[in-house]
Chain A
Amino acid sequence: MAVRLKAVLPYVLLILLSIVFLFPFLWLVMTSLKTPEEILKFPPTIFPEKVQWSNYQAAVEAIPFTKYMMNTFLICILNIIGQLLSAPLVAYSISRIPWKGRKVIFTIVVATMILPAQVQMIPQYIIFTNLGWVNTIVPLTIGAFFGAPFFIFLLRQFLLGVPMELSEAAKIDGASELRIYARIILPILKPALATVALFSFVWSYVDFMGPLIYLNDSAKWTITVGLQSFQQDHGAQWEKLMAASTIMAVPMILIYFFGQKYFMKSGSALTGFK
């Protein structure tokens, strides 16, 4: 009997927890398909009386969703390019070039991972103000071209597992360091670079405070700020807000499904962080 319970208990727990975790998604989608009248009916219903697919179209037009999405994607792409250009270079330097100072660099990289962004936020804002870059996407993208500490760390962990013999052999053939980096290491790094690209995309996509501070002109807004502002101006239009939130979540869910193994990679890299 006890053995039976032991075998069943995990399933019961898993199923209960799953229901709790899935219900908000159900509520999100169901609300997005109701009429405004039905949403404010007491007592509330779960399933819509008559499914209103038109809410999605209305939300996309009212917000304006497409414009904000394009703005967001542009920022995401520039961030990915920036990180891919810079982060592996730095990671290579601190993991595969035996130079004095690389330990210091690595220590600082790790230390800045926990430095609260607020400490630099105001002077950075003033710098960008003086450069006339406020209300452009430069402040939201330029940082990527200098390598984010998290990615440098991630790639370094990965590179530590790549045998040095690979480079040694090439060196004997007279290849320069840059050549080894470009021809041997970068191809090996591909899966790790995919992880970097994915995370970089996700971070830029969900960023709220950056666009809130730097983008004044509503034509330049990203989807996060645009959606928040829509809620501010039009408050209680829950069917549209939920429809927009659903559409906004879709790219993230797709990325999760297609990039699952890369996300897991970062998880295992973090477990190596002791």
Chain B
Amino acid sequence: MKKKTWFGLWCLLLSIMVAGCSGGSGSTAEPGKTSGEEPDQPAAADAVELSFWYGWTGPEAEALEKLIAKWNEAHPEIQVKGLSQSDYQKQLTAITGGNPPDVASQFGQNVVPWGLRGAMMPLDDYIAKDGVDLDDFVPAALSTSQHEGATYAIPTAMHVSMLFYNKDILKEAGYDGPPETLGELKEYIQALSIVEDGGRLSRLGLWPGMDAYTFSYAYGGSFYDEAAKQVTPDHEGIQSAIKLSKEIWDQYGSDNLDRFSSGLGQYMSAQNPFFSGKYAMTVDGEWLPTFIKQFAPDLNYGIAPIPYDENHPERKNPGNVTTSVFYIPKGAKHPDASWAFIKWMTEPEQMAEFTAAIGNLPTRTSAFASPLYENVPGFKEFLDYSASENLKSFPATSFTNEYMTEFSAQVDAILRGTVSIEEGLANVKEKIQPLVK
């Protein structure tokens, strides 16, 4: 009799717990209301709902949501719910947790490591079935998504960096145009920076911890010797690039640079240090002119090629190509519907609409001619630049993540003087070479 009471109590406890859980998932389904501000679509009764996680935030996310709304209107049977989620790592834990989104965006550099691990669904069958023309894609962009014949993601946007310069500040310092060679760049930085009494920096020519990949390629560097299966972080070109950074860095010192950077405003705002004149120059991607138009329309700026090594004029117009991709996570519940959405999103028309809105470069050559780009500031400069012979991209391998993480950690240590250039790069090699299979 007693046991019966206990049994009853336990059942009560359990049912409350279950109620709690289902209450939880019930409320989690609700946010759909908050993200879909437009009135409910006339969704079909058996509509598939896809969750789509993307890394864009702010105005860029708004541009993407517009496209999603367009898709939802045209496809009542597949309703896509977008979610801005800038922590890309969360996708991996969601996949291992068995609750992945149906579609997600990623950086190109993660595609091959994740694909090989089994976190991304190979798309080759879909590509073949629907006859997607892979030849239409820019080869350097597509290669970031492929490994040994398998395609794990579709690149939707392509990024490359150029040199932005503040025309007013340069003129004030007596320069008519941007620096063309790496030697000139160093000279410019020194002339354009302002150090006040007491060492406090109030303006920098260019942040010295600049994009180590772009500048390594400028010096002819290479990160991986495919034939010898050797990682080559100690490549001569990479060493030269880091030496350049280090020389500029040491001129101001970690302490002053850290202080200066802690007082810089938010990137996506009028307080962006380049917009507010705290940087005279900056190395940044094709999206920056769109931000400038939005946040600092009066900025008098120019766009120039990355300076080249004066001893090697054949390496003019160097650069580092990266991509943004869409993929289907492993364990997604409606892969066919996910693919239909990705395919639609990466068709030239939609690709042009999205990339033009956020000022990115498209990855399909047939999208280049879209009239939508006419109003995109800086697009022409970047489109021309993206045809350069000297653009490279970081090798797509299973250990790309570890390699880039370790490389940037060591570069930081080198700049801060805790290790020498040789030591730091040797550390990278020692740690990464064993991962080569």
Query: In this complex, which of A64, A129, A216, A217 has the most chain B Cβ atoms within 10 angstroms of its Cβ?
Result: A216
Closest to A240 in B: B266
Residues of A with C-beta under 8 A to B265: 36, 40, 236
Query: In this complex, which of B21, B24, B265 has the most chain A Cβ atoms within 10 angstroms of its Cβ?
Result: B24
B434 CB-CB contact with A under 8 Å:
no
B312 CB-CB contact with A under 8 Å:
no
Given the interface pairs A135-B94, A229-B86, the reply to whether A216 lies near B24 with Cβ below 8 Å is no
A258 CB-CB contact with B under 8 Å:
no
A42 touching B94, Cβ below 8 Å: no
A71-91 Cβ-contact flags toward B at 8 Å (1 or 0): 100100010011001100000
B405 CB-CB contact with A under 8 Å:
no
A219 CB-CB contact with B under 8 Å:
yes
Report the minimal beta-carbon distance from B57 to chain A, rounded to whole angstroms. 5
Report the minimal beta-carbon distance from A86 to chain B, rounded to whole angstroms. 8
A residues 191-232 with Cβ under 8 Å of B? 213, 216-220, 229, 232
B residues 20-38 with Cβ under 8 Å of A? 20-21, 23-25, 27-28, 31, 34-35
- State which of A36, A78, A132 has its C-beta within 8 Å of the C-beta of B24: A78
Give the distance in Å from the alpha carbon of A136 to the alpha carbon of B24 in the complex. Answer: 7
B90 touching A216, Cβ below 8 Å: yes
Report the minimal beta-carbon distance from A90 to chain B, rounded to whole angstroms. 12
Report the minimal beta-carbon distance from A202 to chain B, rounded to whole angstroms. 19
Q: Give the number of chain B interface residues (Cβ < 8 Å).
A: 41
Residues of A with C-beta under 8 A to B57: 233-234
B94 touching A219, Cβ below 8 Å: no
Closest to B5 in A: A178
Report the minimal beta-carbon distance from B405 to chain A, rounded to whole angstroms. 17
B413 CB-CB contact with A under 8 Å:
no
A residues 63-112 with Cβ under 8 Å of B? 64, 67, 70-71, 74, 78, 81-82, 85-86
Query: In this complex, which of B9, B90, B97 has the most chain A Cβ atoms within 10 angstroms of its Cβ?
Result: B97
A117-154 Cβ-contact flags toward B at 8 Å (1 or 0): 00000000000110010111110011001000000000
B98 CB-CB contact with A under 8 Å:
yes
Q: Which listed segment binds A: B110-118, B267-275, B334-342, B418-426? A: B267-275
Residues of B with C-beta under 8 A to A220: 28, 31
B16 CB-CB contact with A under 8 Å:
yes
- State which of A81, A128, A218 has its C-beta within 8 Å of the C-beta of B84: A218
- State which of A37, A85, A176, A217 has its C-beta within 8 Å of the C-beta of B85: A217
A245 CB-CB contact with B under 8 Å:
no
A135 touching B269, Cβ below 8 Å: no
Given the interface pairs A40-B265, A216-B91, A217-B94, the reply to whether A142 lies near B17 with Cβ below 8 Å is yes
A237 CB-CB contact with B under 8 Å:
yes
Give the distance in Å from the alpha carbon of A81 to the alpha carbon of B19 in the complex. Answer: 12
B99 touching A132, Cβ below 8 Å: yes
B42 CB-CB contact with A under 8 Å:
no
A137 touching B24, Cβ below 8 Å: yes
Residues of B with C-beta under 8 A to A64: 34
Give the distance in Å from the alpha carbon of A213 to the alpha carbon of B87 in the complex. Answer: 12
B34 touching A216, Cβ below 8 Å: no
B24 touching A219, Cβ below 8 Å: no
Residues of A with C-beta under 8 A to B101: 217
A267 CB-CB contact with B under 8 Å:
no
Residues of B with C-beta under 8 A to A178: 5, 9
A134 touching B97, Cβ below 8 Å: yes
- State which of A40, A129, A234 has its C-beta within 8 Å of the C-beta of B263: A40
Residues of B with C-beta under 8 A to A10: none
Given the interface pairs A136-B21, A141-B20, A237-B266, the reply to whether A219 lies near B271 with Cβ below 8 Å is no
Q: Give the B-binding residues of A (Cβ under 8 A).
A: 36-37, 40, 42, 64, 67, 70-71, 74, 78, 81-82, 85-86, 128-129, 132, 134-138, 141-142, 145, 176, 178, 213, 216-220, 229, 232-237
10 smallest beta-carbon distances between A and B, as pairs? A134-B97, A219-B31, A216-B94, A137-B24, A135-B99, A216-B90, A236-B266, A78-B20, A218-B85, A138-B21
